[in-house]
Amino acid sequence: MDKIIAADVAWMLCASALVLMMTPALAFFYGGLVRRKNVLSIMMQCYVIMCAVGLMWILVGYSMAFGPDRYGVIGSMDWVFLRGVSIVPDSFYGTSIPHLLFMAFQMMFAIITPALMVGAFAERIRFSSFLFFIILWSLFIYNPVAHWVWANGGWLSKDGALDFAGGTVIHVNAGIAALVVSILLGKRDGLVFPKSPHNLPFAVFGAGFLFFGWFGFNAGSALGANGAAVVAFVTTAIASASAGLVWMFLDWFFNEVPTMLGVATGIVAGLVAITPAAGFVSPVAAIIIGAIGSLIGFFFVTKVKPFFGYDDSLDVFGVHGMCGIWGAIATGIFASKAYGSGSGLIDGNPIQVWIQCKAVIITILYSGIGTALLYFIADFIFGMRVSLREEHVGLDLTQHHESGYTLME
């Protein structure tokens, strides 16, 4: 039996809490960016995902994602209701921590992934439809992709795909799904781009705590207090700093002034870009990955979205989808044995770039097509979009009978 190491347990408990904190942080980030009449509705969506997806993960999700492999495609039902998941370490999933702790850490990833998506269809989705759709998406889109890339026996894992902390599983997966839903749901009525946040300090506060939580997200994926965690911690800090500065200077050049929202968005773009590579690349490579990720995110947010006219409300596709795609491919370029277990183009292994591209393409196709099918099912049963009147009044009042702001008489 593998021996439990107390330091690893302590770190992974902290990392799990940090990643869970990212979902309330995301609620503040998104809440500040939407219009004031919808601030509680989008926060509500993030918090409900913590409850619903967390419960589904315990009941069946963990077994689907990480249970004993079935044909490289999905986990068996052997671990439903956490049957057989105990404080004894698993021989594959974190050999120095209790299996139950690994499950809890992965639960936080399962929660944050669909929460990222809600920014794309903000201000116009019916709550009942949203809840039904998110549960289906978590079960049938997130769980299989997590199994393919991370599980013992997953077919993309066996193929050699590298994803240290979720660039493909989380950001590409959620980013593509977000784009699909935002297109199928249609634009918000009467919206003119660009739109200013209703409460920028809320958004900055949320971005700051996302930044803080991301150290648990990436460094925690080392599954212990070890060298890989240190590499991931350092590359996470450096990539986000590089990306924040690049976005600021791009804002300054194209819009004549540097903006707080630009710096915050750039930091998030850099965090996304480094996620799949965090434990595989050098600090210098992290600077490059973050900077290019920021360039890509800025281009898709400020140029591509207005050109095509899709209403990805809070730029989930531009920041998470596209920066996640870049990060996954960059992992195949910059992964180095000197810093982790992966080996990429700079180490004389060019085939890794193709392996990464293949994993990205497969995730895009599966997530895109699967999300569209689930959307049509939810739309047929409940109707996904609120009425025009409800949209104009705001979802806080029409969906929840609450208001984020009260004027004193």
Distance of CA 132 to the CA centre of its chain: 20
Angle in degrees, 0-180, between the axes of helices 322-334 and 260-274, rounded to the nearest 10: 50
**How much is the average pLDDT of 4-8?**
97
DSSP run (H or E) holding 228: helix 227-255
Alpha-carbon span 367 to 174, nearest angstrom: 8
Q: CA-CA distance, 352 to 355, in Å (whole number)? A: 5
Residue 133 inside a domain? The answer is yes
What are the pLDDT digits (tens) for 274-325? 999 999 999 999 999 999 999 999 999 999 999 999 999 999 999 999 999 9
Flag whether 359 is in a domain. yes
What is the domain extent for residue 97? 6-400
- pLDDT of the residue at 57: 98
Tell whether 241 is covered by a domain: yes
The CATH number of residue 327's host domain is: 1.10.3430.10
**Predicted pLDDT of residue 188:** 94
Dihedral sign computed on CA atoms, order 49, 360, 369, 189: positive
> Quick check: is 408 in a domain?
no
> Could you tell me what percent of the chain has a pLDDT over 70?
98
Alpha helices, H only, 153-226: 155-159, 173-185, 200-219
Q: Residue 48 pLDDT > 80, yes or no?
A: yes
What pLDDT is attached to residue 407?
Answer: 64
Q: Which two tokens stand for residue 308?
A: 């095509």
As for how many domains the chain has, the answer is 1
Per-state percent for the chain, helix, strand, coil, to nearest 5: 70, 0, 30
Look at residue 235 and tell me if it is in a domain.
yes
pLDDT in tens, 55-103: 999 999 999 999 999 999 999 999 999 999 999 999 999 999 999 999 9
- Asked whether residue 405 is domain-assigned, the answer is no
Helix or strand or coil: residue 125? strand
- Does the pLDDT value for residue 241 go beyond 50? yes
* Partners of 385 in beta bridges: 125
**Is there a domain that residue 391 lies in?**
yes
Q: Is the pLDDT of residue 408 over 80?
A: no
The pLDDT value given to residue 71 = 95
Q: If you average pLDDT over residues 25-29, what whole number do you get?
A: 98
Cis peptide before 194 (omega within 30 of 0): yes
Specify the pLDDT at position 191: 74
Instruction: Taking residues 347-367, report their average pLDDT.
Output: 98
pTM of the shown model: 0.96
259 part of a folded domain: yes
Q: Does residue 365 register a pLDDT over 70?
A: yes
Q: What value does the mean pLDDT of the chain take?
A: 96
